[in-house]
Chain A
Amino acid sequence: MVAKCQVISLCRSLLRAGCKYPDYNIREYTKRRTLDGFRMNKNLTDPSKVNDAYAEGKEQLEVVERVLKVYLAYPPKTKNIMELKV
């Protein structure tokens, strides 16, 4: 069974990887999706389900990091309007 600190550490890694995207939309989506995903599975008690969820999270982390490299190669030229302070 995966320990709580591992889960928290996975959550942090996902959030921190997501923060690096230059694109506002993807950044916000990653943040929102990881928090929603972790909250949804917050109350799981069955060890096999917990391990499944953890494995899925790890896969997603790899995806995020891989896609990040691609996006960093072509950063957007202008800032998204949501990022501009009113």
Chain B
Amino acid sequence: MASLSTTSLSFKASSIKSTRISQVLRKPSSFQSISFGRFQSSKSLRLQISCAAKPETVQKVSDIVKEQLALSADTALTAESKFSALGADSLDTVEIVMALEEKFNISVEEADAQNITTIQEAADLIEDLVQKKPAA
């Protein structure tokens, strides 16, 4: 029980993504979480807060980003890397979003596309869209 209380503290600290956590609660979770339902604490070691995106999605997004920005294959890309930190300007971001749309067969709205700054956000948005539309 002590471990649960420490994870609850870490969730409070990251209040920015609180909306994501509520989305996570509603979606059927693909992770084996502890049956308490509220905390995805079994995966809290891997990602900082939201386990809303699967690791394969994050990996695919990272691959596309690496290809578009012509980064070498061994640059370490974490889920929290910002596109601007990797040397992408706004045009590169547009290109990356287009490549993601093509790869995952989704359609990203204007407003959403403006707000993507990190790999994690992109992966979360993709998961959202893939779930919403019945993927052919």
Q: Residues of A with Cβ closer than 8 Å to B?
A: 4-5, 8-9, 11-12, 15-16, 19, 31, 35, 38-39, 42
Bound form: Cα–Cα A11–B113 in Å: 12
Bound form: Cα–Cα A51–B44 in Å: 49
Question: Is A35 a contact partner of B95 (Cβ separation < 8 A)?
Answer: yes
Question: Is B102 a contact partner of A19 (Cβ separation < 8 A)?
Answer: yes
Question: Is A38 a contact partner of B91 (Cβ separation < 8 A)?
Answer: yes
Report whether over half of chain B's contact residues are helix, strand or loop; otherwise say mixed: helix
Q: Residues of B with Cβ closer than 8 Å to A?
A: 89-91, 94-95, 97-98, 102, 110, 113-114
Bound form: Cα–Cα A16–B89 in Å: 19
What residues of A have a CB within 8 angstroms of the CB of B98 in the complex?
12, 15-16, 19, 31
Question: Is A12 a contact partner of B91 (Cβ separation < 8 A)?
Answer: no
What residues of A have a CB within 8 angstroms of the CB of B102 in the complex?
19
Question: Is B90 a contact partner of A12 (Cβ separation < 8 A)?
Answer: no
